[in-house]
Chain A
């Protein structure tokens, strides 16, 4: 059973067709890279997979289950997590609180008005473990507004990992980072267990190619090439629309 299947997915904003008959079949544990020039519809595709956008037609299934009509919160409970291209964190809260909130989203405690959130040891321990994994444990009490861009990227990843997703969508996790930070994030992503299926949108070919088992090339909302790293890189269409040679 595939981890994530997208079939015949179409999305149009008025006359603008941003997703055109996209097919995607991601196996469990696979690392899939989605590349494409700006405006190829990569993030729009992610938004349809996570439920933030309704597709015009087509289906999305997660672990064999049709989730095309499910709201994003239900998809989160089924094991889908994502990071955002434009960081959307809780700026007024501490790093630890951000990650704990991610855990709260999947916990029945989120409805509880009677206990103290700060005393939920089990949640806090798991949040701290996720922060250790991304190397931010020592900054856990720092308010998010006082962190660097690179640290925020890691908080993004920690929040997604804390939820122990089965399928993790990463939307340009290297965007805006320095060379050193890119290597840190790359190592971090490399350390994630193969129990987690990962789909990544990325522009940085040097780093992203090393990550991918398979690559999908999107152009004007259409899949124009798909295959192993070598196949897609050597594909003349890739060179034409993306690598620019």
Chain B
């Protein structure tokens, strides 16, 4: 167990290092190098030389790599010349909002998808199963922005229940004070993962129902309900932990789209605006943070799995 965790930890550190190399390559593959990309096409050669020496871009690439990586690990992600603010402070302001959005939508996903998947498996090939299967196929295929638009049409324009825009104010507390504005973004982001998770839960329960231990439990005289809740569900939930870790990149990507629909000032919106204005330092900062978060999420999921399921050995 301890050996497994150590090995998994080393693997994650290795992945993080490869991520830093990739981001460094991306930074230096910008047309004309970082200086030209940041100063714009009108910069004179003199300005570029000056920028390079000021920012240490004339030093050997290896030295630059290590100073960049050291900066990233200490929270120094460079400076956004478009927003005239350090990338670190931008991230500190925007990241908590995206985390709240993503976490709440994951909670909603789990609350909805697990019961739906279990019920589908229990009543397999009945009408509820068919309807849920059909819906999950559609939600799985529907672009997030289209789902968001339909939700705005129905619940904002037509019924008038929720505002079409997410809370705009700074800080985290106002998000909860203006919670009705968060409902549509959370639901939009959750729909895609609900579709995936419920399918997964359904086949996971079905896999377990045909196992020998279920027959043994039934033979001992346990009621079907007891077998389902005490025996099957425990085993069927195990793959969901891995799925939670693996779904993080998709969740961040979905958050980008959701934030752009509802104009929610999180990290995704920051990235999108940076992409439109070629604000490379911001883009790279967001990429590093999301990649680190994903690696840590996967690590936690695997360690959690090893803690829960004694059969896991790698």
A and B are interacting partners: no
